[in-house]
Amino acid sequence: MTPLNPDPAFWRDKRVLLTGHTGFKGAWLALWLSRLGARVTGVALSPVTTPSLFDLADIGSLVDSHTIDIRDATALGHCVNTADPEIVFHLAAQALVRASYRDPLGTFSTNVQGTANLLDALRPLSQVRVVVAITTDKVYRNLEHAFPYRETDALGGHDPYSASKAAAELVIASYRDAFLAEQCVAIASARAGNVIGGGDWSEDRLIPDAIRAWSTDQPLIIRRPQSTRPWQHVLEPLAAYLRLAEQLWQQPTLAGAYNFGPQTHEAATVREVIELAQSAYGCGAVHWGDGTEGPHEAGWLALEIAKSRTLLGVDPRWSLAQSVEHTLSWYRRQAQGESARELCDADITAFTAESASA
């Protein structure tokens, strides 16, 4: 299957609302939408890391940026009404598992009530046609079995982050069925695997932790080297979100839940990812844990992506080795003084060229 690139003719001058544009994935998506000619309104908190891709790539100059907490229904509603979007991407979230153990109530209020606030703010609008709400691969009730999860499998969540995202899925389905479908608004949830890519400085994430450790000649501490996840470069799910929005615009009946990730057999352990990263970085000491440290996290997780391949034509492009190589190259070159935005642009160009040559 030949991968499909976003259609610039479709996106040109589209009014797009993007929540979470100051985060890692949100900043990448804001840049890509700007390249495609969309008119983007961004809604998010200020960046939570220093440095941040949002600041380094000057994403604020590309979008109409608003600093709003999505838990503030009044401020969010006013901004949404003013933006009057045609397409909405909802990425704003508390997105870290370990942080959710420290602040479960904040996690639930942001991920559940914040999602409800956004969807409720869309109800009075007449121009909105498509909503793509981003949840996570961790929405499934993880039984640690050896089968990939399908969109029809039971939702659940041991930790507050996973549970809050599963609850957000119920909110999304409720608003779709009770309100938005009859208003001809197509809403889908996107459940993406673990992402890597240049410009992520979040806490408790594998590659950012490696970069922080190795750039200061410190050993990287790995708690659970055998944990298996569906790793993918950040451009993989973003391309899928854009494709999903285009298809929903044309075929609203495609509304529903979609998994996005690598092929099932390409799910990899933390150890495998870090060994690739060591090779790409050229050095880096690691202390391997025994899997018992810290709060509970799922040991094995993979996604079945047949639905998105069949209905949307979404197909993974970069292998894990390619994804890690692009990611480590981004960090290495940025640390040497190259422009963060130009490095992102170069990765998007290389990624889309994969489709053109397929």
Q: Domain residue spans in the chain?
A: 9-291+300-354
| Helices 320-335 and 206-214, axial angle in degrees (round to 10) | 40
The answer, yes or no, to whether residue 295 has pLDDT greater than 80, is: no
The answer, yes or no, to whether residue 3 has pLDDT greater than 80, is: no
| Mean model confidence pLDDT for the chain | 95
**Do residues 43 and 22 touch, judged by C-beta distance below 8 A?**
no
Count Cβ atoms below 10 Å from residue 17 Cβ, excluding itself.
Answer: 27
The answer, yes or no, to whether residue 357 has pLDDT greater than 60, is: no
Tell me the per-residue pLDDT of 152-188, one tens digit each, with 9 for 90 and over: 999 999 999 999 999 999 999 999 999 999 999 999 9
Percent of the chain having pLDDT more than 70? 96
The CA distance from 307 to 310, in Å, is 5
The answer, yes or no, to whether residue 20 has pLDDT greater than 70, is: yes
The CA distance from 9 to 313, in Å, is 19
| Per-residue confidence (pLDDT) for residue 292, from 0 to 100 | 65
| Per-residue confidence (pLDDT) for residue 290, from 0 to 100 | 78
Burial class (CB in 10 A: 0-12, 13-18, 19+), 126: exposed
**Is the CATH code 3.40.50.720 the one for domain 9-291+300-354?**
yes
Count Cβ atoms below 10 Å from residue 70 Cβ, excluding itself.
Answer: 26
Q: Which two tokens stand for residue 350?
A: 């290389």
Tell me the per-residue pLDDT of 114-145, one tens digit each, with 9 for 90 and over: 999 999 999 999 999 999 999 999 999 998 88
| Per-residue confidence (pLDDT) for residue 265, from 0 to 100 | 85
The more confidently predicted of residues 296 and 194 is 194
Q: Is the pTM of this model over 0.75?
A: yes
The answer, yes or no, to whether residue 296 has pLDDT greater than 80, is: no
Q: How confident is the model at residue 24 (pLDDT cuts 50, 70, 90)?
A: very high
The more confidently predicted of residues 356 and 205 is 205
- Calculate mean pLDDT across residues 207-236: 95
Helices (H), the chain: 8-11, 24-35, 53-56, 73-83, 97-102, 104-108, 114-122, 160-175, 206-214, 235-250, 270-281, 306-312, 320-335, 340-357
- Calculate mean pLDDT across residues 70-76: 98
| Per-residue confidence (pLDDT) for residue 283, from 0 to 100 | 87
- Calculate mean pLDDT across residues 194-199: 97
Tell me the per-residue pLDDT of 324-356, one tens digit each, with 9 for 90 and over: 999 999 999 999 999 999 999 999 999 999 765
Q: How confident is the model at residue 316 (pLDDT cuts 50, 70, 90)?
A: very high
Percent of the chain having pLDDT more than 90? 89
